[in-house]
Amino acid sequence: MHNDVIGRAERPRPVLAVLATVVGAATAAGTVVLVVVVARSYGAADAIWVGAWFTPAIVGAVAAARRPSNAVGWLLLLIGFMGAASQAGFAYAPTPPLSIPQALVIAVASPLLYLSLAGLAVLIVVFPTGLPPRGRRRHIIQFAVVWFLVSAIASFPSPIITGDARNYSNPLQISALNGFINAVGSASLLAAVVLVALAAADAIRRQRRAQGIERQQFKWLAYAAAVSVPALIITVSPAGNLWWSGIPIVVASNGLAASIGFAIVRYRLYDIDRIVSRTVAYLVVVGLLFGVYVACVLLMTTVLPLRGSISVVIAVLIAAGLFAPLRSRARALVDKRFNRSHYNAQSVVNSFAARLGDKVSLSSISSDLLTAVDQTVQPSHASLWLRSQEPRPGE
């Protein structure tokens, strides 16, 4: 892998390193202060969104200082800064009616947020080299640029300006175009989901084609990118009005930056295959338990003469009783698909341990041990040396 973010550090460039450090530290500190201010002024639901831009600023500062010629670090830093600035714009709460300068301050928050989201998609595509992609992949960046420009331009003359405190009537609105502007706003939300989905699909495809340490780095990025798709869907759906709707996008944004941070420092505390398999397994279990719960409630309320809280309690007890066996079965099935090598090795070790109790001959035990080592570790050569048990002279 050439010119990537985890190669050896470049020759120090003090000016760029200081610039990246100062901007990153200021953005991270400003994010923390903004979380506190927004939480006290408008509540935790609005403050959650601010936390999405903390990790990108920190990781971006580290990456830009380490590899200033690579655009990945600077792009992360830009994402964190623009995201935090957008939240500051949403937190601005002047007394209505708005003047034109006040309307511009709040209205610019949406383009900054769009820029951060577009930056996340571009970041996924250019990782790890920081260079523009070639071939069809460049269309993702072109799509991101067009989407940002259309969304940003349409946000200024929109009829309503949204802030954390309240919604304002926009003095910049063009009444004759209100219907068109609203339609463009709705379409831009769907386009954002498509944009992130394309970037995530690109990361997964490249992860499958990569080899060696690059493959391990792409596993982290592909997993974080895949998580960002449902997170964004929740954000733009009707569920986005719920108090917890900001949590998925906060997790996705910080997780994406953290995955790049792991690649930068060559740090893999957990096996990403196990994280993926456990995520899928628990999603399967939750889906099955939800289906069991709904089926039980419908059965007891429509067929059996049970109503109200009694049917709910019984359904919850049944689902709770099925949790442990469903979890074990789901883990076993998912491990066969997502963690096949580990699953096969564990099966071989368990089989050897089971046969070991029936063996009495040292030669048969030695043969089975070498077979188990060959099937799990797959060495080019394996041999077993046993110390002689012959008595020493004079004993």
Q: Is the bond preceding residue 97 a cis peptide, omega within 30 degrees?
A: yes
Count of domains for the chain:
3
Range of the domain at 284: 279-338
What is the spatial distance between Cα 117 and Cα 133, in angstroms, rounded to a whole number? Answer: 19
> CA torsion sign, 255 to 261 to 263 to 266?
negative
Whether 95 maps to a domain, the answer reads yes
Instruction: Clarify whether residues 284 and 371 are in a common domain.
Output: no
State whether 290 and 354 are in the same domain: no
Based on the fold, state whether residues 34 and 154 are members of the same structural domain.
Answer: yes
The answer on 240 and 152 residing in a single domain is yes
CA distances from 323 to 63, 283, 286, 317 (A): 43, 12, 9, 10
pTM: 0.68
Residue 243, judged by CB atoms within 10 A of its CB (0-12, 13-18, 19+), counts as: exposed
- Do residue 196 and residue 322 come from a single domain? no
CATH of the domain at 82: 1.20.1070
Do residues 104 and 170 touch, judged by C-beta distance below 8 A?
no
Same domain, 312 and 350: no
Residue 386 resides in a domain = no
Nearest partner of 284 among 337, 214, 238, judged by Cα: 337
Query: What token pair was written down for 136?
Result: 């069809």
Q: How confident is the model at residue 394 (pLDDT cuts 50, 70, 90)?
A: low
pLDDT exceeds cutoff 80 at 380: no
**Are 161 and 219 in a shared domain?**
yes
**Among 250, 269, 288, residue at a domain's last position:** 269
End-to-end CA distance of the chain: 62
Q: Is the pLDDT of residue 176 over 60?
A: yes
Comparing C-alpha atoms, which of 266, 220, 259, 269 is closest to residue 59? 259
- At residue 378, the pLDDT reads 55
Is 392 inside a domain boundary?
no
Are the CB atoms for 49 and 242 separated by under 8 Å? no
Residue 292 belongs to a domain: yes
Q: Within this chain, do residues 220 and 301 fall inside the same structural domain, yes or no?
A: no
| Same-domain pairing of 313 and 368 | no
Residue 88 lies in a domain: yes
Are 64 and 32 within one domain? yes
Confirm whether 115 is domain-assigned: yes
Residue 389 lies in a domain: no
Q: Residue 103 falls within a domain, yes or no? A: yes
Give the pLDDT confidence score for residue 79 in this predicted structure: 95
Instruction: Clarify whether residues 107 and 213 are in a common domain.
Output: yes
Tokens of 37: 């201010």
Q: What is the pLDDT of residues 89-139, one digit of tens each?
A: 999 989 888 999 999 999 999 999 999 989 999 999 998 888 888 888 899
Joined tokens for residue 192? 């954002």
**153 and 255 belong to one structural domain:** yes
Asked which of 237, 269, 301 is the last residue of a domain, the reply is: 269
